[in-house]
A and B are shown apart, each in its own frame.
Chain A
Amino acid sequence: MQLGALVVTQGTNHQSGEAAHSWISTWPVVGKTVVERWIDRVRELGVGVVSVVDRNAEPPVRIMDWVKEGVEQILLILSGAYAEIDLADLIHFHHEGRNRITRVFDKKGPLGISLLNRGAILKGGVRPGLDEALKSSRYDFLGYVSRLSSAMAYRQLVQDALEGRCGIQPAGYQADDKIWIDASARVDVSAKIQGPCYIGANTRIHAGVVITGYSSIEGNCEIDMGTTLDHACVLPNTYLAPGLLVRNSVVDGTRLEQLEKGVTVDLGRAALAARRYAVAPSVSHGATDRANAFHRDEELDLQPPMVPRDITR
């Protein structure tokens, strides 16, 4: 029986204001986004066709073509949540009950994961999987779930991944107990890294930086001299100025969300952070590219990759 999978992202609008956190599923969690992790798990299952679509995109996907080509079941995943569901068991449950639609629930309600039969798709496309009012079978899941409804939920997921409380394995090599560093990251020898923590690909950690308290720095970031990160997440392509104390926060470019106070601040106005832009090294630079100080810094810096030495637990 051929199975197809459709992963629906919740949009990637970073400009939609403080209240909207729908893009969180596209934020990387210690190296990979939740969407990427869903795709990996679906592929491990041996699913024939996998498609990732934006929920707001029209038309959503060629589901009908899939069905005509012989796909008999479609696994529909709305990537608003991270859940460690045993997908093989879900399929088994669906078969055994001869269900048309099976929806996954945890104790708080539906998780946005459905398995649809060919008949249900022919009748209403993927709509039956999205419409909670339609009659369906219920698959109760009691394992690890993170709904990613807020930056705090995202932070908790990172913390759980670093602590090993969920199945997420941080990318990169394990430099020490609960310290993961990508091979392409450059960490100054004077930086103090206290695990558990994660440093992503092409990220640069300057002299005197302190990283502690389940902090994660995703790919292509630059943390300037003497800055301290404590219980903080730095999202990709972020530059942080020297001497800062970033605590209980999620930083995305110039946008900082302080989780304790529930306050969002634009650090760009205070020149404390910036958005970094990754440019391929082989690209020849015009005048505009040369103005990109961060890239130039990478280009001119000929230091060999530094190995973290002062790593304490």
Chain B
Amino acid sequence: MTSKGAVVIKKFPQSRNFARRKAFLTEIRNLARSTYRPQLVLDISESVELDPDAIELLLECVEQTERADGRVSVIAGSPQAAVILELTRLTSVLDLYSSVSEAVNSGTLHRYKAQDVVQPLAV
């Protein structure tokens, strides 16, 4: 089954546990395979600052989603995380929002809102 432009909201893993992050990436890979143009919203609002592994995982998510012609948006709760994302130029490959509602109501995701179901997935 292939859905078109579905908005998927996922909590970004907080722990530095390798297995936990690997499992998360597998989920994203599966999502990218099964969805056409997925609109992935990653909620990193609980991360005050990002470590190198988290940045790498975020890049992997962008890569997987872009393979399916999708787009990644990030909810950066803390200004520190937003600064790190800008500093590492990640904001050039993903959209940055301060809250889920801001992301959903933004122009990019809004056009899918009427026809697609927003699927918040608890991780």
Interface residues of A (CB under 8 A from B): 243-247, 256, 258, 261, 263-267, 269-272
Those of B79-115 within 8 Å (CB) of chain A: 79-80, 82-84, 86-89
Bound-state CA distance A266–B89 (Å) is: 17
Bound-state CA distance A271–B84 (Å) is: 11
Chain B interface size, as a band, is 10 to 19
Residues of A within 8 A of B87 (CB): 244-246, 256, 265, 267, 272
Cβ contact of A263, chosen from B50, B51, B79, cutoff 8 A: B79
Bound-state CA distance A271–B52 (Å) is: 6
Q: Which residue of B lies closest to A273 (CB)?
A: B87
B88 touches A244 (CB 8 A): yes
Q: Which 3 pairs across A and B sit closest by C-beta, in order of nearness?
A: A263-B79, A271-B52, A265-B80
A270 touches B89 (CB 8 A): no
- Chain B interface main SS type: helix
A270 touches B51 (CB 8 A): yes
B83 touches A270 (CB 8 A): no
Residues of A within 8 A of B51 (CB): 269-271
A270 touches B52 (CB 8 A): yes
Given A270-B49, A270-B55, A243:B88 Cβ within 8 A: yes
A270 touches B84 (CB 8 A): yes
Bound-state CA distance A271–B87 (Å) is: 12
Bound-state CA distance A258–B87 (Å) is: 10
Residue of A263, A264, A269, A270 ringed by the most chain B CB atoms within 10 A:
A270
Closest chain-A Cβ to B79's Cβ sits at a distance in Å of 4
A263 touches B80 (CB 8 A): yes
Residues of A within 8 A of B83 (CB): 256, 258, 261, 263, 265
A272 touches B80 (CB 8 A): no
A244 touches B49 (CB 8 A): no
